[in-house]
Amino acid sequence: MVSLAARLLLLVAVAAAAARCAAMAATAHPKGLRVHLTHVDAHGNYSRLQLLQRAARRSHHRMSRLVARATGAVPPAVSTSKKAAASPGGVGDLQVPVHAGNGEFLMDLAIGTPALSYAAIVDTGSDLVWTQCKPCVECFKQSTPVFDPSKSSTYAAVPCSSDLCSDLPTSTCTSAASNKCGYTYTYGDSSSTQGVLATETFTLAESSSKLPGVAFGCGDTNEGDGFSQGAGLVGLGRGPLSLVSQLGLDKFSYCLTSLDDGAGKSPLLLGGSVADISESKATAPVQSTPLVKNPIQPSFYYVTLTGLTVGSTRITLPSSAFAIQDDGTGGVIVDSGTSITYLEVEGYRALKKAFVAQMSLPVADGSETGLDLCFRAPAKGVDEVKVPKLVFHFDGGADLDLPAENYMVLDSGSGALCLTVAASRGLSIIGNFQQQNFQFVYDVAGDTLSFAPVQCAKL
């Protein structure tokens, strides 16, 4: 029988341990965490046309990868050829191999003890956090040293019996003796990471906050050209292995600077009150719409698109046009890693028709930009050209009322004024061109997406 004194000592010990844990959590992120995102082309010294071409190409690749994941089909390859760009509705014969894992923004992290710094692609469309690890069986080139788990005192392989292992879409037990959880995480038809699931201490660069026990993929076999912008990937999706879920964040937000602000840092705000939109910094009222869950694709952040407005034309489509189907296809996701917005063919064709009817400029060949709908801008006075207003209408009455620079881009070299919206089949995506200089708040606890126009460089 345990004595009363022993029980009291046990209670005191438990309370002390809980207090220590609470103190550690408060030290790690008392009001939330702030990090900065850097655009993948920020230091490439590219021309505006090259920036457009690269962003369009990555967007086509990523869209095909996401559609393949949503539909469960091997995606057709993507082309930016003239034939594809000029095809009716913007969906052409797709010809170039797809490489998954493409992203638009990088965040600086450090992993292990002692900490090794690296840059990782940020992805709101997937969950797993991973980096390349020694000894590499097959690894792509990266600008920073490859992580060596044998040199870190805080590295621990996840056992096969762990709930973390069962959270993986595909896992294997490496051997009965080692009892390590092996994983294979596939992004598309040819891109994947494979290795051992482990836990480590991660350090976020700006805050120097140490996050112990983060589950991550220690990948020794990694394939796919799209990964080469960073040394791994940080998933911010809705699944249990994402950084958002592992940190138990109630919400997170980001504010993406414009394509023209190549060196600009885009803030990513994780948890607590730091993620909320400050009304003093927003230039219009905050809009909110419910986040919708798709049980077949639980990682994506879905919203309900109810209609579009182009200039004086309100485009109302059947609810089925952008709805999630019984087989998990369809629906509209908000994605930070895709530059261009993609709409189901029915919606895109209606939007394209409205733009052609209301623009006072002739249609031009925009194949060099990789975009579908372009107009011939005047040689002089292009700043005075008026373009129709574009508004996305969401469930709950939220309107994403976009400034012209968020959906029309000018290639000064060719004189093409192009719409950064294209067609897709199987999934619609609100891309990051449309999100520029808006703060987006993902309230994962309340299943709500909020947004408002904010000067991101000043946030």
d(CA 222, CA 238): 23
**Higher-confidence position of 57 and 454:** 454
pLDDT of residue 262: 58
pLDDT beyond 70 at 183: yes
Please give the share of the chain, as a percent, with pLDDT higher than 90: 57
Tokens of 375: 């107009």
pLDDT at 390: 98
Residue 92 pLDDT > 70: no
Q: Is 335 a catalytic residue?
A: yes
Q: Which of 335, 372, 411, 443 is catalytic?
A: 335
Residue 6: CB atoms within 10 Å: 10
| Residues making up the chain, counted from first to last | 459
Span 247-279, pLDDT tens digits: 999 999 999 998 776 567 899 999 977 999 998
Secondary structure element (H or E) that encloses residue 434, with its range? helix 432-435
Q: What average pLDDT does the chain have? A: 83
125-174 pLDDT, tens per residue? 889 999 999 999 999 888 899 999 999 999 999 999 999 999 998 889 87
Residue the block writes with tokens 């003239």: 82
To the query of whether residue 327 is one of the catalytic residues in this protein, the response is no
- Ranking 187-201, 239-253, 317-331 by mean pLDDT, the lowest is 187-201
| From 92-106, 158-172, 267-281, 382-396, the region with the lowest mean pLDDT | 92-106
- Least confident segment among 8-12, 198-202, 259-263, 271-275: 8-12
DSSP-derived 3-state class of residue 457: helix
47: its two tokens: 């021309």
Among 123, 220, 372, 443, which one carries the catalytic annotation?
123
- Rounded to an integer, what distance in angstroms lies between the CA atom of residue 247 and that of residue 241? 10
294 vs 55: which has the higher pLDDT: 294
Decide if pLDDT at 53 tops 90.
no
